[in-house]
């Protein structure tokens, strides 16, 4: 009985800290569920950065110029770095990196569904930088103010770098839109395929988001999925118009009363199908990831053996 009272008391004090804006650090007491939810969210986020390298990595050898190739290489390297920032932040919660890797490779941990769509042509690289990273920036700017110190610090670092990703992607599409008719069609086609999956990145609608209330009470989330999605739409539509791209949504229009865009309906069946493993590239991504990990195993083992030998 004594123990239960203490636990309840600790939890109350924890909530008071959160409510008064105190940031939680790794060694502070935290409810087990807060720890678990953060491990789930943060490792999923780290995995998304890592798996996110695969669709873009496809285009490094096929970038249309040396400049573009250098830029894309730097961007993909940043994504690896982002994965590492977040893995290291997640390890402060007491989970080991090897365990996180294993959860990814066995399918126990998820990653962002957006990376289960294929990159079919060069314009897709533009659409990923502009739309996918643009959506990620909105999410991550919010997370930069979350209640867990290491996660928030990793997000601040990442947000600075994502802006480069976002702008290089937009520039790719802007160039194509100034090009030939075929190039313009290619850009519009990429827009058509990536728009709705980008909106899905914000997660289920508030009504169907089971974890949201708890995460908001703990200030892990500061805004609802729908609010962030609207923020992304409001910011992105004028950018599309500026370069002559059409948003593939015939219900999209500016609402002067709400001062937001009204828009259509997400195909939630598709969203849940891709999440549960039936997207166009789920299998391909996972086998590429596991393959890379296995091919790198001898390097990790050799490095460990070398370190052991030179211990003294």
Partner 1 sequence: MEEKKDVQGKLWEVFTQKKTGAPHEHAGSVRAADKEMAMMNARDVYSRRNEAVSLWVVPSECIVASQPEDAGPFFDPANDKAYRNPNFYKTPTGVKQIS
Residue 303 within binding range of partner 1, rule CB under 8 A: yes
Smaller CB separation from partner 1, 158 or 233: 158
CB of residue 304 to partner 1, shortest distance in Å: 5
CB of residue 156 to partner 1, shortest distance in Å: 11
| 161 vs 84: CA distance, rounded Å | 14
Closest C-alpha to 119, from 194, 11, 173: 194
End-to-end CA distance of the chain: 52
Of the residues 7, 25, 185, 206, which one makes contact with partner 1 according to CB under 8 A: 25
Question: x/- string (CB under 8 A) for partner 1, residues 160-199?
Answer: -x--------------------------------------
Residue with tokens 């930088």: 129
Main-chain phi, psi angles of 255, to 5 degrees:
-110, 105
Of the residues 39, 41, 89, 155, which one makes contact with partner 1 according to CB under 8 A: 89
**In angstroms, what CA-CA distances link 145 with 67, 79, 139, 159, 292?**
35, 21, 11, 12, 34
Residue 213 within binding range of partner 1, rule CB under 8 A: no
Of the residues 101, 128, 138, 191, which one makes contact with partner 1 according to CB under 8 A: 101
Closest C-alpha to 86, from 142, 136, 43, 123: 43
Span interacting with partner 1, options 51-59, 75-83, 181-189, 243-251, rule CB under 8 A: 75-83
| 199 vs 20: CA distance, rounded Å | 32
Question: x/- string (CB under 8 A) for partner 1, residues 262-301?
Answer: -----------------------------------x--xx
CB of residue 17 to partner 1, shortest distance in Å: 11
Smaller CB separation from partner 1, 159 or 247: 159
| 140 vs 136: CA distance, rounded Å | 6
| 145 vs 86: CA distance, rounded Å | 15
Residue with tokens 């919660």: 93
Residue with tokens 């209640």: 147
Smaller CB separation from partner 1, 258 or 308: 308
Cα torsion 87, 93, 98, 102 to 10°: value is -90
Strand partners, 255: 260
Cα 276 → chain centroid: 17
CB of residue 27 to partner 1, shortest distance in Å: 5
Span interacting with partner 1, options 47-55, 149-157, 196-204, 246-254, rule CB under 8 A: 149-157
Smaller CB separation from partner 1, 56 or 91: 91
Binding site for partner 1 (CB under 8 A): 25, 27-29, 74, 77-78, 81, 84-85, 88-89, 91, 96-98, 101-102, 150, 153-154, 157, 161, 297, 300-301, 303-304, 306-307, 310
């Amino acid at each position: 009985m004594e123990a239960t009272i203490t636990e309840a008391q600790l939890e109350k004090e924890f909530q008071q800290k959160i409510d008064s804006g105190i940031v939680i650090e790794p060694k502070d007491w935290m409810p087990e569920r807060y720890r678990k939810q953060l491990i789930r969210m943060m490792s999923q986020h780290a995995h998304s950065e890592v798996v996110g390298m695969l669709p873009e990595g496809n285009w490094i050898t096929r970038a249309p110029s040396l400049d573009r190739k250098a830029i894309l290489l730097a961007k993909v390297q940043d994504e690896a770095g982002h994965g590492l920032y977040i893995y290291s932040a997640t390890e402060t919660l007491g989970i080991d990196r090897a365990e996180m890797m294993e959860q990814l490779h066995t399918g126990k941990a998820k990653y962002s569904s957006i990376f289960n769509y294929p990159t079919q042509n060069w314009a897709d690289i533009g659409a990923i930088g502009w739309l996918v990273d643009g959506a990620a920036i909105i999410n991550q700017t919010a997370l930069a103010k979350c209640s867990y110190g290491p996660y928030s610090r990793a997000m601040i670092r990442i947000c600075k770098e994502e802006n480069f990703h976002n702008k290089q992607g937009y520039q790719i599409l802007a160039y194509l839109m100034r090009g030939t008719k075929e190039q313009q069609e290619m850009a519009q086609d990429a827009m058509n395929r990536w728009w709705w999956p980008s909106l899905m990145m914000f997660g289920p609608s508030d009504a169907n988001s089971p974890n949201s209330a708890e995460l908001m009470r703990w200030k892990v989330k500061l805004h609802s999925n729908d609010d962030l999605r609207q923020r992304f739409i409001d910011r992105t539509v004028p950018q599309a118009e500026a370069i002559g791209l059409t948003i593939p949504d015939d219900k999209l229009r500016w609402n002067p009363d709400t001062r937001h865009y009204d828009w259509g309906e997400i195909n939630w069946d598709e969203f849940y199908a891709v999440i549960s493993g039936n997207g166009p590239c789920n299998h391909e991504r996972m086998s590429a990831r596991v393959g890379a990990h296995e091919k790198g195993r001898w390097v990790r083992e050799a490095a460990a053996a070398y370190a052991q030998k030179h211990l003294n």
